[in-house]
Chain A
Amino acid sequence: DSGVTQTPKHLITATGQRVTLRCSPRSGDLSVYWYQQSLDQGLQFLIQYYNGEERAKGNILERFSAQQFPDLHSELNLSSLELGDSALYFCASSVSLIAYEQYFGPGTRLTVT
């Protein structure tokens, strides 16, 4: 158990819908990262937050957005869902910007039908 929690574990929804994935980092970790794992794209970095502020953006679609709240939990919002958005979404956390180890949550499996 990495100490990072993600909810829900599984999510099945229809095209065009909107979903929110939630992540709670390890206690004391200030930085949160979101990654997407799909069969065709592999593991890709989406976005990073540090202490409530957006820090870095990767291959994140405009239909996707994220935020980190004052209690440091983070949410990833996916809207206008398409079949190709079906993937495993991971949240990871690290204690600081300098810390090189990222601890991954168990992931949320999103299926768009």
Chain B
Amino acid sequence: AQTVTQSQPEMSVQEAETVTLSCTYDTSESDYYLFWYKQPPSRQMILVIRQEAYKQQNATENRFSVNFQKAAKSFSLKISDSQLGDAAMYFCAYRSAQGAQKLVFGQGTRLTINP
């Protein structure tokens, strides 16, 4: 079974600075997808960014980018120019490319933005 681990329960960053959230996963599959979801105080789950395992290029969405290291099974999220609205719980998630389409989530990292 696949597992996802987020080793940082909490992180904080100054507004306008850059922060990196860590995620590692364990799988025997070669083809899969990885995601970062944001959960603000409203509790809504919002997809931030996704990465296909077969792509070597790291995904980028505006101020959000990932560092995908397939061999190391590592998938970190970098937030540049942090804004107060980025404060939330961030969840890393794994999905198989075949078979079950369920998402397997990490425990989450609570990100605080200091003004």
Contacts and interface: CB of A to CB of B under 8 A. Distances in A.
A109 B42 CA distance: 12
Q: Which of B37, B95, B102, B106 has the most CB of A within 10 A?
A: B102
Contacts of A48: 100-102
| Size bracket, chain A contacts | 20 to 34
Contacts of B42: 106
B105 interface: yes
Interface string A43-71: 11100100000011010000000000000
Main DSSP-derived SS at the B contact region:
loop
A42 B107 CA distance: 6
Contact of B101 (A43, A97, A103): A97
Interface string B30-63: 0001000100001111110010100000000000
Interface of B: 33, 37, 42-47, 50, 52, 91, 95, 97, 100-108
Nearest to B91: A43
Interface string A100-113: 11111011010000
B35 to A, nearest CB: 8
B9 to A, nearest CB: 12
A90 B101 contact: no
Max count, chain B CB within 10 A of own CB: residue among A43, A102, A103, A107: A43
Interface of A: 2, 31, 33, 35, 42-45, 48, 55-56, 58, 88, 90, 92, 94, 97, 100-104, 106-107, 109
Contact of A106 (B44, B52, B108): B44
B101 A56 contact: yes
Contact of B45 (A45, A58, A100, A104): A104
B47 A56 contact: no
A56 B105 contact: no
A45 B103 contact: yes
A31 B101 contact: yes
